[in-house]
Amino acid sequence: MFCTQCGIEATGDSHFCRKCGKGLGAVSTGSGTAAAPAPAPVAAPVVVAAAPSPRKSKVPTLLTILTVLVFLIWRAVGTDNVRTVVSTAAHLPVTLDDQVENVRAASWKAIALNLPYSGTVSINLTVVSGNPLDVFLTTPDQADTMKAGQWQDVKVFSGFSATKTKTYRRSQPLAQGSYYLVVRDTSLGILSASASDISVKAELNP
């Protein structure tokens, strides 16, 4: 190190110039450079582990999805059809028909019965007022034969057939598919009523 005042080289660890007495201000190091003060120790960062969040249950999510699906189906097809869809999926009892029909004398009417699954079909039919009726069960492909009046050629399910009846009760297993419950008024003459009112209720059970 050299004195900045007079240029004399300082020796050893002198803090003042030996010629002019000026303070040298820094301690010489062996390499001829001033020693820098040691940096203050830096504390290591403390890492705090986050507590694991509790696992959310999937049950509420599934219930929400099912609720939304049922609501959308209900909006799309209506309450009665939703009931039918649910009953079909679970093979619960299904009401196929439940109403009062009117049949004119010397005419016939086909009531559609659509079975969403194979099961036992129970049909209760009562003539509320009017004439005794012929009742039988057939399939839609027999419609043309019935329209042509070829009744002797119509293929029917014998377990569901009755003639000249006012009270009809039948129960038989049937396969999934479409059927016609046909009611036919064959009465003629002065004593016959001009029309008949009938109560029909058909149910499907597993």
Reported as a single tens digit per residue, the pLDDT across 26-55 is 444 444 444 444 455 555 555 555 555 555
The full length of the chain comes to 206
Instruction: Match 């509420």 to its residue by tokens.
Output: 60
* Residues paired with 167 in a beta bridge: 126
- Can you state the angle between helices 59-77 and 79-90, rounded to 10 degrees? 120
Going by C-alpha positions, the residue among 190, 130, 206, 200 that lies closest to residue 168 is 200
Residues with Cβ < 8 Å from 60, sequence gap 6 or more?
Answer: none
The yes-or-no verdict on residue 57 having pLDDT over 60 is no
Lowest mean pLDDT among 33-42, 115-124, 148-157, 172-181: 33-42
How many alpha carbons lie under 13 Å from residue 196 in its C-beta half-sphere?
28
User: Stretch 174-203: mean pLDDT, rounded?
Assistant: 93
- For position 45, what pLDDT does the model report? 59
For residues 41 and 45, give the distance between their C-alpha atoms in angstroms, rounded to a whole number: 12
Distance CA 39, CA 157 (A): 104
> pTM of the full predicted structure?
0.59
Which token pair is 141? 């492909």
- CA-nearest of 72, 118, 114 to 91 is 118
Structural contact between residues 68 and 56, judged by C-beta atoms closer than 8 angstroms: no
